[in-house]
């Protein structure tokens, strides 16, 4: 199946940009703070950003002392925005699908991916390529949509509600059925790939990574008081973060 490039859909691209421009959104409240709480020291490091989008994080990595940042993304529209709005010495943007990063040369100290890997069908292939591109002891840090979210088929209400419409609990179905899911988000037919926790963790372990940390950011009481709509996150987190380290060659080659 052809790789979907949904961010080059004009309607999707414009609506997504509007969402990210809002001061209060799940990325700003949960995803970005958690990503940087897990970030290794980037001083003097060569960084690979998988699914770099419009490049805001690439600039952040340079500000944290990275020697270089290579951002790859399948979307020409996103990269045009990155080159226009977030260019800086040391940053290179490449129009490339994450599945194709095996074609890159060079060695990276850190590979980071922010909310992009759930769009990838061949997750094991990406993980293997990332391991090959990392130096021994290199860090792979990524966030993705939470598996409790990616299992949603896009049909029916995602929530069970009371008579006043208050969300009581999230509806979970077909969690153990992995593969492509389609839903409507700005436009119809947005493709994501659902994988169980065990599949994600075992793929990393089998490919020669050791997991250092897993985080499922949840709403704090302070956030819910200020933004009551994020009460949802008491029921389920939106995001999953994993920080892993590349094992030594001989250890990784045994798995």
List the beta bridge partners of residue 212.
none
pLDDT of residue 255: 40
pLDDT in tens, 150-181: 998 777 788 999 999 889 999 888 999 999 99
The pair of structure tokens assigned to 118 is 């759930």
pLDDT of residue 249: 66
Prediction pTM value: 0.93
pLDDT of residue 222: 94
Asked if 133 contacts 107 with a C-beta cutoff of 8 angstroms, the reply is yes
Please, what is the Cα angle at 168 between 166 and 171, to 5 degrees? 120
How far is 137 from 249, CA to CA, in rounded Å? 10
SS3 category, 175: coil
pLDDT of residue 250: 52
The pair of structure tokens assigned to 163 is 């008579």
pLDDT of residue 55: 97
- Spell out the CATH class of 6-146+195-226+237-250: alpha beta
- Structural domain boundaries in the chain: 6-146+195-226+237-250
Query: Which residues neighbour 73 within 8 Å (Cβ) at sequence distance 6 or greater?
Result: 7, 51, 52, 53, 79, 82, 93, 94, 95, 96
Tens of each residue's pLDDT in the chain, 255 residues: 568 898 989 898 898 888 888 888 999 999 999 999 999 999 999 999 999 999 999 999 999 999 999 999 999 999 999 999 999 999 999 999 999 999 999 999 999 999 999 999 999 999 999 999 999 999 999 999 999 999 987 777 889 999 998 899 998 889 999 999 988 888 888 899 999 999 999 999 999 999 999 999 999 999 999 999 899 899 999 999 999 999 986 554 444
Where are the extended beta strands (E) located within the chain? Answer: 46-50, 68-73, 91-95, 108-114, 134-145, 159-161, 167-170, 179-185, 187-194, 209-215, 239-246
The pair of structure tokens assigned to 234 is 């008491």
Q: How many CA atoms lie within 13 A of 176 on its CB side?
A: 0
């Amino acid at each position: 199946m052809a790789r979907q490039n949904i961010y080059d859909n004009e309607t999707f691209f414009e609506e997504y940009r509007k969402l990210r421009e809002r001061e209060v959104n799940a990325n700003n409240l949960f995803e970005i703070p958690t990503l940087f709480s897990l970030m290794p020291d980037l001083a003097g490091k060569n960084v690979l950003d998988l699914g770099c989008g419009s490049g805001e994080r690439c600039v952040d990595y340079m500000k944290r002392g990275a020697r270089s940042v290579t951002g790859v993304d399948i979307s020409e529209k996103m990269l045009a925005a990155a080159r226009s709005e977030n260019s800086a010495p040391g940053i290179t943007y490449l129009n490339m699908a994450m599945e194709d990063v095996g074609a890159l040369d060079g060695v990276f100290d850190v590979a980071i991916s922010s909310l992009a890997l759930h769009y990838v069908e061949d997750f094991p292939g990406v993980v293997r390529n990332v391991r090959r591109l990392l130096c021994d002891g290199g860090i792979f840090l990524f966030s993705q949509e939470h598996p409790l979210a990616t299992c949603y088929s896009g049909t029916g209400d995602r929530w069970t509600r009371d008579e006043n419409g208050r969300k009581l609990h999230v509806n979970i179905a077909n969690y153990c059925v992995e593969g492509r899911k389609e839903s409507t988000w700005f436009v119809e037919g947005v493709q994501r790939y659902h994988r169980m926790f065990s599949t994600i963790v075992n793929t990393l372990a089998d490919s020669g990574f050791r997991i250092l940390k897993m985080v499922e950011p949840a709403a704090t009481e302070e956030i819910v008081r200020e933004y009551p709509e994020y009460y949802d996150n008491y029921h389920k987190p939106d995001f999953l973060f994993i920080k892993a380290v590349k094992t030594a060659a001989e250890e990784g080659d045994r798995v």
